[in-house]
Amino acid sequence: IKNIAVLTSGGDAPGMNACIRAVVRTGIYHGKNMFGAVQGYQGLINNNIIPMNARSVSNILHMGGTILKTARCLEFKEDAGMEIAFKNLQEKEIDGLVVIGGDGTFTGAKRFGEKFGINVIGVPGTIDNDLYGSDFTLGYDTAINTVIEAIDKIRDTADSHDRLFFVEVMGRDSGCIALRSAIASGAEAVLLPERETSLKELITKLKAGASTKKSSSIVIVSEGNKYGGAYDIAKAVKRKFTHYDTKVTILGHLQRGGSPSGFDRILGSRLGFAATNALIAGESMKMVGLKGNKIGLTSLSEALSGLGNYKLEDDLLEMTHVLSI
Ligand code: F6P
């Protein structure tokens, strides 16, 4: 490996900058020429590939977002787009690629690597925590903390007014953010994409709380659950349960921003360092991940095939039910 490019793609996640810094500095330490593609795969296609040195990544460790910018690039899904991207990399003699992102990013990386034989290593960067091969993805910890901080504030006003709140959180098809934040914020119930809770069960739970003098209640709604958005669910519940005045809050994209937590800064640094070292050691088509506090490699296909509900811990869900009576 002579020249390495790093990019961030898909939804941004706190800790991506820590990871970019680690990739760039580890490469430079080993005498490689380092580049950054601006706006992910779009930057490869637009030839927006900039040289980076150790100072290009100074003072970014604490910053949310990504200094390289990101995009969900449709053009890269087409062969024509990939060919242009490859030609641009070839021109700069870039033979190694570190891609930081989620499932969409890895799907693109896998096809690109298979088609052109370029060496590619993935770093799991998504607040959703939905990739197989890493106990935690970059940005997930910060996102949970952001959600918890928001729900703490909602709890203050919910309790003051004796209200029932439905709070919608992100995660796409993964309920990881919802479940963890439900535990940490003491939510009365949580609706997840991976497990079915009927509206009847939900109402029974809320009624039980009201009958034991719970003055307010919070239900966390994961965006991918089967009943729809928080507004729909609030409406459906309200038709059958009128004990509380009901309100809805959708946390939305604020969950993706903010300064990364200590955990995500360290994780980003570890994963970036490991990704560059793996490329230099001749690895390719793999994702670096954290497994039981050790950095390991998983093939991109395996990382993608693990998408689904394997990460949702039933014991934690059971605990949430018990602790919220
Ligand atoms: O994958 C991260 C994520 O924030 C998901 O939780 C969410 O469903 C999606 O991205 C939102 O995407 P966009 O920012 O493109 O609206």
pLDDT digits (tens, 9 = 90+) for 181-233: 999 999 999 999 999 899 999 999 999 999 999 999 999 999 999 999 999 99
pLDDT digits (tens, 9 = 90+) for 271-303: 999 999 999 999 999 999 999 999 999 999 999
Residue 104 Cα to ligand 1 middle (Å): 11
pLDDT digits (tens, 9 = 90+) for 63-115: 999 999 999 999 999 999 999 999 999 999 999 999 999 999 999 999 999 99
Atom of ligand 1 nearest to the CA of 10: 1
315 is catalytic: no
pLDDT at position 90: 98
Query: Is ligand 1 within 6 A of the CB of residue 126?
Result: yes
pTM over 0.95: yes
Q: Cite the annotated binding site for ADP by residue number.
A: 21-25, 155, 186-188, 214-216
Tell me how far apart the alpha carbons of residues 191 and 126 are, in angstroms, rounded to a whole number: 21
Query: Is ligand 1 within 6 A of the CB of residue 139?
Result: no
**What are the start-end ranges of the H helices in 162-198?**
176-185
Where on the phi/psi map is residue 169: left (φ > 0), alpha (ψ -120 to 50), or beta?
Answer: beta
Helix (H, G, I), strand (E, B) or coil at 268: helix
More confident: 309 or 2:
2
Helix (H, G, I), strand (E, B) or coil at 314: helix
pLDDT digits (tens, 9 = 90+) for 31-64: 999 999 999 999 999 999 999 999 999 999 999 9
Q: What are phi and psi of 300, to 5 degrees?
A: -60, -40
Query: Is ligand 1 within 6 A of the CB of residue 125?
Result: no
Six-digit token pair at 207?
């009624």
* pLDDT of 176 over the 90 cut: yes
Give, in order, the Cα–Cα distances in Å from 127 to each of 6, 31, 102, 255, 282.
Answer: 19, 32, 9, 8, 29
Query: Is ligand 1 within 6 A of the CB of residue 182?
Result: no
pLDDT at position 305: 84
* pLDDT of 309 over the 70 cut: no
Tell me how far apart the alpha carbons of residues 5 and 44 are, in angstroms, rounded to a whole number: 10
* pLDDT of 121 over the 90 cut: yes
pLDDT at position 312: 86
CB of 55 closer than 8 Å to CB of 24 = no
The secondary structure of 41-80 as a DSSP string is HHHHHTT-EEEE-GGGGTT-TT-SS-TT-----SGGGSHH
Q: Given 79, 95, 128, 264, which residue is catalytic?
A: 128
Atom of ligand 1 nearest to the CA of 223: 8
Nearest CA to ligand 1 atom 12: 11
Residue with tokens 């918890």, as numbered in its chain: 148
* pLDDT of 246 over the 80 cut: yes
